[in-house]
Amino acid sequence: MELTGAQIVVQSLKDEGVDTVFGYPGGAALHIYDAFYAQKEVRHILVRHEQGATHAADGYARATGKPGVVLVTSGPGVTNTITGIATAYMDSIPMVILTAQVPTSLIGDDAFQEVDTFGITRPCVKHNYLVRDVKDLATTIKKAFFIANSGRPGPVVVDIPKDVTANKTEYLYPKTVQIRSYAPVKKGHSKQISRAAKLLLLAKRPVIYSGGGIILSGASGELTALVDLLGYPCTNTLMGLGGLASDHPQFLGMLGMHGTYEANMAMYECDVMLAVGARFDDRVTGDLKKFSPHARIIHIDIDPASIGKNVRVEIPIVGDASVVLEQLVSAIRGSADQPDAESLGKWWEQIKQWQSRDSLGFEMSTEVIKPQFVVQKLHEITGGDAFVTSDVGQHQMWAAQYYGFSNPRRWINSGGLGTMGFGLPAAIGVQLAHPEATVACVTGEASIMMCIQELSTCKQYDLPLKIVNLNNRYMGMVRQWQEFFYDRRYSHSYMDSLPDFVELAASFGHVGVKIEDPADVEDALREAIATTDKLVFLDFITDQTENVYPMIAAGAGHNQMVLKPSADGSKPPERELA
C-alpha cells in the first residue's frame, strides 16, 4: 500500500507497538499531526513546552523499560528538546525523538524555523538520522528503535523534512534490522566469568557496587540472587536505587558524595569490588587517587568504553548485567570454593560498627518541618513502592537517602546531567504508563518552577500526581555549597518573589495545600495519597538551614566524609577542591 511519509510515521509507531507519544505541533510537523488526527491507536499527549515532552517520554521509559517517544516541530521545537535529550543520554534512557524539518529544498537556506538538528543533537544522542527520501523512512524508524533500546540504551533522533512527510511510497515496516557496525554483546566471556567467580570467593573484605545498569537491564533479581548467595554487602549508586531492595539486610545504602558512611567506608576498605552496571562517576568516586586503594576490581558493563575509563580494572566483563550476573551465579554455585566465612564475619562486624554511626540520623523538630521527615513519612505511607520522581538538589538527595525503594524502576531522577525541571514532566510520563499507581514528585520550589507549565498538561489528562514540594525558599544545594565553600555568601541562591503555590495549583485546576507545622505532615500526605482523582500540590514549608549529610567534598576521598555536625562534632568541609 502507498502511504505518505506522515502516514508512514504514524503506522511505523503502531507497528513498533508504541502506545504513547509526547509532542507539540508546529509548521514543519503539520503533515504528521494530520496523520495523527485520523487514528486512535497511538495516544498523543500534548505538553506545554517541548522540554516537557522529552522529560515525560523519559519518565515513561524509565518506569516501563519501553522507549519513550517524542514528536516536535523544526527549529525552536528541536532546540527546546535538547536539555531533555541530553538528560536521557547521560542516564542511558531509550528514547526516539522524531523531529520535523524544513523541506529538503530549503535545508541550509536559513529557512523559517530551520536549525541544523543533525548537528545540534549529535553530541547528546546515541545516534541520529536525517531522512532525505521517503523510501528510507520506515527502515530508519525501525533502526532508531533498535539502536535506542539495545546495548547501552540511549536517545536516537530522526529528523524528517516536511516534503518527505508529504511524499508517497510503498509502506513496509521491517520486522528486524541488521546494522553491520552495531552488534552489542549480551553474554559475558566465560573465561572472564570464571576468573571473576574465583576472585570473588577469595575476597576477605568484598563489596558489590551496582548502578543504573541493573535497572536498565532488569537485573535486580539476578543481583539479589548473587548478593544472597555470597552474603556480601551491596551498595547502590543514585541511578541504581531499587536494584536491591532497601530493606535487604546486606544493603549498605547509597554510596558517593551523599552516600552513607558505611557504604563509602566499605568502598574505601574493600579488597575485592564487583562493579556492575555502574560507571565510576566522579560523584561516586571522589578523588580517584584516593579511590578504593586496596581493591581488586571486577567490572561488568554493556559498554566497553565504560570499563577502564576512570579506574583501572583487573577483570573486565562486557555484557548485559542480567545475563552476566546469571552466568556469575552459576559459576559460583558450581565452584568448589566457598566464601571465606571467618573474614566475612569480621568484615560485617566492621560494617556494623560503621552503621552504628547512623549517618542518616537527623534531629526532629516540633517547630519547623524537616525535609527528611517528609520523605520518611512518604515512604511509610506508600510502603516504599510508589513511583518517586525528583528534580535536582537537596530534595533529590533526601529522596534518595530516605525514601527506601523496594523495587526497581520506582526511582526516577536525572542523575547524570542533573536537570532541574525534570521531576514534574517525568511524573507525567510515569503516571500515563501506570494510571493506577501512586506517583509522587519530590521537588523543591526552585526546581518545580523550571517546568511549572506542565501543571496544565496534568489537568488536561487528569493525572493525579502528588507533588511534594520541599519549600525552603533557597536553591538548597547551591546555598549549602555557598555555606561550606564560599563563607556563607549566598549569592543569588535565595528564591525571592515565589508564587503562592496553593493558589497556583488552584488556578491550574488542581488542589493545593500549604503545610507549615510538623504535626500536620503525616495527615497531609495521607490525605493526598488517598486522593486518587486529583493532582495534589503539597507545599511543605521546610527548615531553611538543613544541609544534606553525609558529604564528601568534591575531590576528597571516601574516607574523608563529613557527617552532620551534631553527630561527631566534625565541621563542614572547608574547601572545595573541584
Partner 1 sequence: MRRILSLLVENEPGALSRVAGLFSARGYNIESLTVAPTEDESLSRMTIVTRGSDEVIEQITKQLNKLIDVVRLLDLTEGRHIERELLLLKVRAQGADREEIKRLVDIFRGRIIDVDEETYTIELTGPGDKLNAFIAALPSAEVYEVVRSGVSGIARGDRALRL
User: Among all chains, which residue has been given the C-alpha cell 571467618?
Assistant: 342
Which of 157/515 has CB closer to partner 1?
157
Which is nearest to 457 in space by CA: 116, 24, 15?
24
Active-site entry in 112, 168, 353, 363 = 112
Active-site entry in 143, 162, 377, 466 = 162
Q: How far is the CB of 198 from partner 1 (least distance, A)?
A: 25
| Region binding partner 1 by CB under 8 A among candidate stretches 177-185, 440-448, 470-478, 517-525 | 177-185
Q: Which of 166, 172, 179, 577 binds partner 1 (CB under 8 A)?
A: 179
Which of 116/522 has CB closer to partner 1?
116
Q: Which of 112, 182, 490, 494 binds partner 1 (CB under 8 A)?
A: 182
Using the rule CB under 8 A, is 119 a contact of partner 1? yes
| Region binding partner 1 by CB under 8 A among candidate stretches 100-108, 173-181, 239-247, 454-462 | 173-181
Q: Which of 181, 491, 497, 532 binds partner 1 (CB under 8 A)?
A: 181
Determine whether 191 is an active site residue: no
User: Among all chains, which residue has been given the C-alpha cell 563542614?
Assistant: 572
Which of 70/130 has CB closer to partner 1?
130
Residue type, 475: M
Which of 128/237 has CB closer to partner 1?
128
Contact 52, 425 (CB under 8 A): yes
Q: How far is the CB of 217 from partner 1 (least distance, A)?
A: 18
The grid cell for 542 is 521546610
Determine whether 450 is an active site residue: no
- Which of the residues 294 through 353 are near partner 1 (CB under 8 A)? 303-305, 308-309
Using the rule CB under 8 A, is 258 a contact of partner 1? no
Determine whether 251 is an active site residue: no
Three-class DSSP category at 240 = helix
> Which one-letter DSSP state was computed for residue 551?
B
Residue type, 164: V
Q: How far is the CB of 569 from partner 1 (least distance, A)?
A: 41
Determine whether 405 is an active site residue: no
What number of chain residues touch partner 1 (CB under 8 A)? 18
CA contacts within 13 A on the Cβ side of 160: 35
SS3 string, 431-471, reads HHHCCCCCEEEEEEHHHHHHHHHHHHHHHHCCCCCEEEEEE
Determine whether 327 is an active site residue: no
**Interatomic CA distance for residues 80 and 522, integer angstroms:** 38
CA contacts within 13 A on the Cβ side of 513: 21
Contact 22, 427 (CB under 8 A): no
Binding pattern for the stretch 120-159 against partner 1, x by CB under 8 A and - elsewhere: --xx--xxx-x----------------x------------
**Interatomic CA distance for residues 520 and 558, integer angstroms:** 38
| Region binding partner 1 by CB under 8 A among candidate stretches 92-100, 115-123, 293-301, 439-447 | 115-123
- Which of the residues 286 through 305 are near partner 1 (CB under 8 A)? 303-305
Degrees (nearest 5) of the Cα angle 25, 45, 143?
75
Q: How far is the CB of 289 from partner 1 (least distance, A)?
A: 15
Degrees (nearest 5) of the Cα angle 270, 275, 281?
100
Identify the H or E element spanning 78.
helix 76-79
| Region binding partner 1 by CB under 8 A among candidate stretches 175-183, 354-362, 387-395, 485-493 | 175-183
Contact 72, 46 (CB under 8 A): no
CA contacts within 13 A on the Cβ side of 525: 27
Could you list the residues that contact partner 1 (CB under 8 A)? 118-119, 122-123, 126-128, 130, 147, 179-182, 303-305, 308-309
Please give the positions annotated as active site: 50, 112-113, 162, 477
